[in-house]
Structure 1
Amino acid sequence: MDDVQGLDIIKIPSEDIWPLANPEFTRAPDALPPNAYLKRPCLFGAGCHNPHIQETILSKVEVCEVLKKHPHPNFARYLGCVVKEGRVRGLAFTKYSVTLDQMLKERTPFDKERCLRGIEAGVYHM
């Protein structure tokens, strides 16, 4: 989408998107490591019309906080919340060199049975 001239731009106040950060939430390092992935909500298209975006973000943080206390090798390593101006702006995770989605799209050979066992083990862990 190179030409943004024809788009209808709707300014969304940041307090309507980003929830207040609970002081008990794990904070990501101010300078994220190079191998970090920052998960943020989509604010384009259908994502900008989510009336529950703050609740969605907070619920994801709460799940990540529980999983941080009860880690599993098949879950992404949660580094913490990125907080700016007292609000959660994203969730930081260790970034992997390749995702399962990429492997499937690129038809990269891998042990599918082992992968499914790992997913199953993660689900049972939860």
Structure 2
Amino acid sequence: MFPELPLSGAKQFTEAPLELYNAHVFIKRPIISQYDVYKRHNVVHLLAQSFLEAACTMEFLSAHPHPYLIQYHGCRFRRGYLTGIVLSRHSHDLKNYLSRGVGNIDKKAFMNALESAIHHLHLLGWAHNDLNPTNVLVDDSEASGGMPLLIDFGSARKIGSLLGTSRGTSGWIEGRIEDYTTSKKEHDIFALEKIRLWLDNPTFDE
């Protein structure tokens, strides 16, 4: 399930500093829980492929930083394989932050910040394509004061590109998931407005 490094090797990826303690970072791995589904459809190779694509996306975004994109520290490697994507750790996504009553957010400031992150992606020629309250963390550090951090770029693609196996979340897209096949900034604009409305009366159905 771990992708083999391409011929250019680890040099094309940032190596995460070894002194980063696991308590302070989140190490993203391939989605093992989906293994049986992929195996049943004889596409297990797509798990490794999508993980490699996610690492490439984070490398690209790290060259174009934005304060409301999750901080990327690099990758972990072992014996020629990419084994982890190392990101800053934060305790709560937006849904959990509100459902557990961790704190309140300033809706106007929060949405302005989230919009600026999405606008940054669009200026780079990319779209996120899977914007929803579980893919937005809340940075409740004293310095940030409850601002958003956009995460999960598994569906992110250059605008106009075909989407892969990851393509939005039901309930947060416009139309049918079957028709959600191409990376478009309109996907993000629709989801932004839906989050804005959701914040007025958030629900937490699974």
Q: Which amino acid aligns with 1:39?
A: K
- The answer to whether the Cα contact below 8 Å between 2:3 and 2:82 also exists between their aligned partners in 1 is yes
Identify unmatched segments of 5+ residues in structure 2: 122-206
Say if 2:27 is the partner of 1:27: no
Identity %: 26
After superposition, where does 1:41-56 map in structure 2 within 5 Å? 41-44=30-33, 47-48=34-35, 49-50=37-38, 51=43, 52-56=46-50
* Corresponding residue of 1:69: 63
Runs ≥4 residues deviating over 6 A: none
Q: Which structure is higher in RCO with an 8 Å CA cutoff and minimum separation 6?
A: 1
Normalised by the length of structure 2, the TM-score is 0.49
Following the alignment from structure 2 to structure 1, what is the Cα–Cα distance between the partners of residues 19 and 80? 17
Separation in 2 of the partners of 1:101 and 1:84? 34
Amino acid at match of 2:24: N
1:36 is matched with: 25
Query: What residue number does 2:90 align with?
Result: 96
Q: Secondary structure at the match of 1:29?
A: coil
Task: State whether structure 2 residue 70 is matched by structure 1 residue 82.
Answer: no
For the aligned residues, what is the CA RMSD?
1.6
In the superposition, the TM-score normalised over structure 1's length comes to 0.76
Give CA deviations for 1:39-80 in whole Å, capped at 9, x if unaligned.
Answer: 112212xx1033211111011111100111110000111011
Between 98-107 and 66-75, the greater mean CA deviation after superposition: 98-107
Q: What secondary structure does 1:38 align onto?
A: strand
Output the CA distance in 2 between the equivalents of 1:102 and 1:82.
28
In structure 2, do the counterparts of structure 1 residues 101 and 90 end up closer, same or farther at CA, with 3 Å as the change threshold?
Answer: farther
CA drift at 1:99? 2.9
**Which residue, out of 91, 106, 119, partners 2:114?**
119
